[in-house]
Amino acid sequence: MKRKVVLLWLSVVIATSAASDDDDTPIVRFQEYLRINTAHPNPNYAAAVSYLTSQARSLQLQTTVFEFVQGKPLLLVTWPGSDPSLPSLLLNSHMDSVPAEPSKWIHPPFDAHKTDDGNIFARGAQDDKSIAMQYLEAIRLLKSKSFHPLRTLHLSYVPDEETGGLHGWQMFAKSKEFHSLNVGFMMDEGQASLGDEFRVFYADRTPWNLVIKAVGMPGHGSRMYDGGAMENLMKSVEIMTRFRHTQFDLVKAGLAAHSEVISVNPVYLKSGIPSSVSLTGFVMNVQPSEAEAGFDIRLPPTADPDMVRKRIMDEWAPAHKNMTFQIVEKGPLRDYVGRPLMTPTDDSNPWWSIFKQAVTSAGGRLAKPEILSSTTDARYIRQLGIPVLGFSPMANTPILLHDHNEFLKDSVYLTGIKVYESIISSLSSYEGNSS
């Protein structure tokens, strides 16, 4: 009887130990972070910071929280290097994500459900909670091998990237706290690749929000005359559409990538006199005296912003046609000395060579460096003259950022940890001059 009790006790201990191990794996920790709802309009930043801080402290890493705007915390995790005089490294990710529509998902977007084939469904799985945890998991592996960095390594977990970074990186980049870090090189988010090569980005496109307004004399709906508000606005839209076609034709002909041209897309049109009795909701026999349209414009760093402004002024919204315009530039196009916001991807940039070799050493292959078609927080750092590469190691993966049913395969996630292990080891061991 005593022997049976002992065997039963051992079985319980072994089973409890196995369950404990299963509950503390890189995949489980990733799922735990994904379950924190940081989607706009009410991202739970406090829970995200708390979780990331606990993970960092379990690795004996230093943590600091900055709050440049109340309710918008920015977490900085630091692994001190043996030579603090060398410029440091910074790996960035954002805590927030875009909203999700649960009714249009196969699995609830904040359950982090893992299917039998290893796909983890969650908002933020690709954009970009994966790299946030991969950084920490790579450090976990390096510490288990008693690795010590020569250069200090920082991890930044920032708010509000999805809404423009105005309360996150824009303020952090201007702060004395950031400048005290002496950052020499930074890595930020990238995108998935449909093939077996990892994509890497050396620049972003900069978004402009353009609003064009036209005014004119109102008139009876039956009359035809020149200079009406809607007429002038429609002519403007036609001119802009022709420009859009010239840019898109370059892409369709294979002469340029989507991210290398200026994109112009109409996003709203507002005009007309509201009516509660009309079937259309508008007065149909009056030509309105005001009309307005909004456009999303994306400029690659190679574009000349002064020439674009001139085109808007002379062709798209000319004052002699009773038109006005407003441009909201959501980020810089040039750095502090007037250079385009591009990070070199050749031997003139020692960080590029080290990064490329580190990816190769981990068994990966890089695709041709690209300009990101959208925009990230990297633009605020490149403006300071600091080189930044956008990179998310997700090969053979559909691009699902901001889409329904966003997911990342567990094996792809685990491969990314090994890639970052090689990258962090190589970059933090670099002894050369990188000022």
Provide the CATH number for the domain around residue 321: 3.30.70.360
**Interatomic CA distance for residues 419 and 125, integer angstroms:** 17
Which of 353, 378, 359 has the alpha carbon at shortest distance from 430? 353
Long-range contacts of 100-108 (CB under 8 A, 24+ apart): 100/39, 100/404, 100/406, 101/404, 104/404, 104/405, 105/404, 105/405, 106/405, 107/405
Instruction: Calculate the dihedral angle through the C-alpha atoms of 258, 259, 260, 264, rounding to the nearest 10 degrees.
Output: 70
Give the list of residues 6+ apart from residue 232 with CB closer than 8 angstroms, or none.
214, 216, 291, 321, 322, 323
Tell me, rounded to whole angstroms, the distance of Cα 289 from its chain centroid.
40
Residues 218, 308 within the same domain: yes
Which amino acid makes up residue 418?
K
Count of domains for the chain: 2
* Partners of residue 294 on adjacent β-strands: 211, 268
Residues 178, 324 within the same domain: no
**Interatomic CA distance for residues 150 and 85, integer angstroms:** 10
Q: Tell me, yes or no, whether 4 lies in a domain.
A: no
Q: Tell me, yes or no, whether 18 lies in a domain.
A: no
Residues 227, 351 within the same domain: no
Q: How many CB atoms lie within 10 A of CB 21?
A: 10
pLDDT, position 435 = 54
Q: Tell me, yes or no, whether 261 lies in a domain.
A: yes
Q: Domain of 358?
A: 26-204+340-429
Q: Tell me, yes or no, whether 406 lies in a domain.
A: yes
Residues 64, 142 within the same domain: yes
Which amino acid makes up residue 256?
A
The residues annotated as belonging to the active site are: 96, 161
Q: Tell me, yes or no, whether 7 lies in a domain.
A: no
Give the ranges where 362-408 is alpha helix by DSSP (H).
378-382
pLDDT, position 12 = 40
For each of the chain's 435 residues, which pLDDT tens digit applies? 444 444 434 444 444 444 445 678 999 999 999 999 999 999 999 999 999 999 999 999 999 999 999 999 999 999 999 999 999 999 999 999 999 999 999 999 999 999 999 999 999 999 999 999 999 999 999 999 999 999 999 999 999 999 989 999 999 999 999 999 999 999 999 999 999 999 999 999 999 999 999 999 888 888 887 888 999 999 999 999 999 999 999 999 999 999 999 999 999 999 988 888 888 888 898 889 999 999 999 999 999 999 999 999 999 999 999 999 999 998 788 899 989 999 999 999 999 999 999 999 999 999 999 999 989 999 999 999 999 999 999 999 999 999 999 999 999 999 999 999 999 999 999 998 765
Residues 321, 213 within the same domain: yes
User: Which phi and psi (to 5°) does residue 361 adopt?
Assistant: -65, -30
Q: Tell me, yes or no, whether 6 lies in a domain.
A: no
Do 261 and 250 touch, CB atoms closer than 8 A?
Answer: yes
Q: Tell me, yes or no, whether 391 lies in a domain.
A: yes
Do 252 and 277 touch, CB atoms closer than 8 A?
Answer: no
Residue 193, SS3 per DSSP: coil
Residues 115, 166 within the same domain: yes
Q: Tell me, yes or no, whether 264 lies in a domain.
A: yes
DSSP annotation of 62: E
Residues 163, 212 within the same domain: no
Annotated binding site for Zn(2+): 94, 127, 162, 189, 402
Residues 167, 226 within the same domain: no
Q: What is the CATH number of the domain that holds 171?
A: 3.40.630.10
- In order of 314, 315, 425, 434, the CA distances from 320 in angstroms are 9, 10, 61, 52
Annotated binding site: 94, 127, 162, 189, 402
Instruction: Give helix 410-428 / helix 350-361 axis angle, nearest 10°.
Output: 140
User: Which phi and psi (to 5°) does residue 82 adopt?
Assistant: -75, -15
Residues 33, 114 within the same domain: yes
Residues 67, 107 within the same domain: yes
Residues 30, 156 within the same domain: yes
**Interatomic CA distance for residues 35 and 121, integer angstroms:** 10
pTM of the model as a whole? 0.87
Give the list of residues 6+ apart from residue 37 with CB closer than 8 angstroms, or none.
43, 44, 110
Residues 108, 42 within the same domain: yes
In the numeric block, the tokens 């007309």 are attached to 272
- Structure tokens belonging to residue 321: 């046609």
